[in-house]
Structure 1
């Protein structure tokens, strides 16, 4: 297999944003379709393209956040093409969170802002229900994992997932994520536990935790 895992650079962010747009495309990802509904999308560009500048700004903001790591999977047989990535947010070790760039504003003309705010509220409530008032400050949070569809079933998702799980286990920290229906089987296969199901605008997603004291299946 010609897959290697490496740290992202800021120059990789346009490619990472494009891959996020492909993997979480509004025609295949339920949440993306709710946030970027079809009736608000421009007719003169392909569906999904209007959100790409925002995706790049958001990934760049994550890259420039001190407790955030973006790992890439590259295919050395394809001229080091990026075929997957994971965004891992690490625990905050002191009371003051790291200074991070402000989240970029969503393009209001193509976004259902009411749905987006409702989504943020659902996630914030789940973080508090799972970990108390400190939310995700004490856990490794898998914010996003994406594998280019033509390259799925090559062990890329496994490699990106287990990298963070190993780091968290070494540090004695739990891991947390919100699983889509498509991603849930992978996480369950590696010992993640369902904390609670969450109805996301008519489709069931699952809040999941990997316990640091659990025997690793790595």
Structure 2
């Protein structure tokens, strides 16, 4: 097994979106199930398929955003198969915010838009409470990390997290993320501290920070 961590290529966007759909599948991920409730899913498609076009558009928007890094883990012994990915939002600093593509709209016929709006509100309130009016503009933010269910417990998630933490450390920046119950032990092992617990539709998540040295 040889795992290589690198920036994603544009032609890999569909594969990343597909993997995101597997990692955050509505039958195994509580938040995804709330956003894409079963009763709204088409009967002629496998559960989870209706969100795939949106996932591809969202990953493409990130790829084309200047302060967003799409990182992949590829297994070089499996013909460079993508076995993990991470989406990092980079600091903007004091410069003018870069021009970014519009966030793609969720498919309203299969999405509980009220739940999604509530989720975004919870996150935004935590960003402001933690960092003030500038929110995430001065930190490295781990927006999403996922590992192929068939390739877990191989250190892939740790490697993807290490990539961003090392970048932030070189810049003297804090790292911020929202931890699921499953991901929290990994982040704690890196030295992330809990900022506050957040109840997300009945499941306790935690906002966490890895402070830059000297802060």
How far, CA to CA, are the matches of 2:59 and 2:151 in structure 1?
21
CA distance in 2, matches of 1:41, 1:181: 27
Structure 1 vs Structure 2 CA RMSD: 1.1
Corresponding residue of 1:64: 64
Q: For residue 34 of structure 2, give the secondary structure of its aligned residue in structure 1.
A: helix
Q: Which residue of structure 1 aligns with residue 54 of structure 2?
A: 54
| DSSP-derived class of the 1:84 partner | strand
CA distance in 2, matches of 1:120, 1:5: 29
Q: Distance in 1 between the 2:94 and 2:18 partners? A: 34
| Equivalenced residues, count | 215
- Cross-structure match for 1:3: 3
Relative distance call for 1:179 and 1:153 in structure 2 (3 A) is: same
The equivalent of 2:153 in structure 1 is 153
Per the alignment, residue 209 of structure 1 pairs with 209
The aligned counterpart of 2:140 is 140
Quickly say closer, same or farther: Cα 1:160–1:214, change in 2 above 3 A. farther
1:130 aligns with: 130
Hey, what does 1:30 align to over in structure 2?
30
Q: How far did 1:93 drift? A: 2.4
Report the CA distance between 1:10 and its aligned residue.
Answer: 1.0
Shift of 1:95: 4.5
Unaligned runs of 5+ in 2: none
Q: Any runs of at least 4 consecutive aligned residues in structure 1 with deviations exceeding 4 A, and if so which?
A: none
Distance in 2 (alpha carbons) for counterparts of 1:131 and 1:86: 23
Q: SS of 2:212's equivalent?
A: coil
Cα offset, 1:214, TM superposition:
6.9
Distance change >3 Å, CA 23–CA 214, structure 1 → 2? farther
TM-score by length of 2: 0.98
> Per-residue displacement from partner, 1:28-50 (whole Å, max 9, x unpaired)?
11100000000000111110000
In structure 1, the gaps of 5 or more residues are: none
In 1, Cα distance between equivalents of 2:162 and 2:77: 23
The residue number in structure 1 matching 2:165 is 165
Structure 1 position 181 matched with structure 2 position 158: no
TM-score by length of 1: 0.97
**How far 1:130 moved relative to its partner?**
0.5
